[in-house]
């Protein structure tokens, strides 16, 4: 991606080096993030739902700050993440205004190991997530390293897709889509609720594509190979791909994010059309 000279978002909360709440497991070897996510997906779990179930149950323990020195590569990823967030702010502010709406950007929270969010306690094993309770996107930057080494999903636009997907959930929250879906899911069987979850995730993929479409029009940000990077990443985080990788077969009723084909198709649709609302 072409990001030279692009601004960095000020909606940024750097909590790296802080350890949040009691009872949180810190650490994990290489691959721990993706492996844990695979286990959650295979069992039909949804990290966002787990976090929401813990809403309001934060421990009273204070966060402890330890000596933390990020690597040069991590600092580059932090700058990159703030630039991508700034791009989402520019695009969604414009698109919301065209609909007569006001866009309120989310906060990007960077953390290391564990964090207290408005939706409850989380560790790096949760993976990137959006919390509507505090309208924030949470990322442990080690996730990008795990994407590369464990799934072979690499590249700056692949990483941007992850951030834009979580911002897509914020767009859903602002439009009322997220709360409506969660309300309906609470009254359904697990299998039926999973279908709603899949629809939410695919729409967030679509919104990630919409962002990329307009970011490229505004800033000429996409380079040769970028789209292929993101499509490859979308395919490698499909429920069927992850389940087959983990256990050799897939269980469609447990899907919460969509198949590889569905996720890559949703992203492509947003990239090609740039249409909002969907």
Per-residue model confidence as pLDDT tens for the chain (278 residues) = 999 999 999 999 999 987 654 333 323 332 333 444 443 433 344 444 444 433 333 333 444 545 678 889 999 999 999 999 999 999 999 999 999 999 999 999 999 999 999 999 999 888 899 999 999 999 999 999 988 888 888 899 999 999 999 999 999 999 999 999 999 999 999 999 999 999 999 999 999 999 999 999 999 999 999 999 999 999 988 888 888 888 998 888 888 899 999 999 999 999 999 999 87
Question: Residue 60: its pLDDT value, please?
Answer: 36
In a domain, 230, yes or no: yes
Q: Tell whether omega for the bond before 277 is within 30 degrees of 0, i.e. cis.
A: yes
Q: pTM for the whole thing?
A: 0.83
In a domain, 7, yes or no: no
In a domain, 27, yes or no: yes
In a domain, 5, yes or no: no
User: For the chain, what is the domain count?
Assistant: 1
In a domain, 254, yes or no: yes
In a domain, 3, yes or no: no
3-state secondary structure of 117: strand
Contact 4, 41 (CB under 8 A): no
In a domain, 109, yes or no: yes
Domain with 32, as residue range(s), is: 12-273
User: Both tokens of residue 246?
Assistant: 């983990």
Question: Residue 215: its pLDDT value, please?
Answer: 98
In whole angstroms, how far apart are CA 138 and each of 15, 20, 38, 73, 226? 10, 13, 19, 19, 24
In a domain, 223, yes or no: yes
């Amino acid at each position: 991606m072409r990001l030279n000279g692009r601004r960095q978002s000020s909606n940024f909360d750097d909590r790296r080096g802080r350890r949040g709440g009691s009872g949180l497991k810190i650490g994990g070897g290489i691959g721990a993030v993706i492996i844990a996510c695979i286990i959650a997906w295979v069992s039909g779990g949804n990290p966002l739902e787990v976090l929401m179930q813990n809403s309001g149950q934060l421990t009273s323990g204070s966060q402890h700050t330890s000596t933390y020195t990020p690597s040069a590569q991590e600092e580059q990823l932090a700058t990159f993440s703030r630039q991508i967030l700034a791009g989402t702010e520019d695009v969604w502010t414009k698109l919301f205004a065209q609909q007569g709406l006001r866009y309120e950007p989310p906060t990007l929270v960077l953390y290391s190991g564990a964090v207290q969010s408005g939706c409850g306690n989380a560790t790096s094993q949760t993976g990137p997530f959006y919390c509507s309770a505090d309208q924030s996107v949470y990322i442990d930057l080690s996730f990008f390293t795990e994407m590369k080494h464990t799934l072979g999903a690499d590249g700056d636009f692949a990483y941007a897709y992850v951030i834009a997907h979580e911002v897509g959930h914020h767009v859903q929250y602002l439009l009322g889509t997220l709360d409506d879906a969660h309300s309906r899911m609470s009254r359904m069987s697990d299998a039926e609720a999973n279908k709603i979850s899949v629809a939410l995730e695919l729409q967030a993929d679509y919104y990630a594509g919409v962002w990329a479409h307009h970011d490229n029009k505004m800033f000429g940000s996409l380079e040769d190979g970028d789209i292929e990077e993101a499509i490859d990443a979308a395919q490698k985080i499909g429920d069927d791909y992850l389940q087959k990788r983990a256990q050799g077969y897939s269980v469609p009723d447990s899907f919460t994010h969509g198949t590889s084909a569905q996720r890559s198709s949703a992203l492509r649709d947003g990239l090609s059309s740039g249409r909002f609302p969907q």
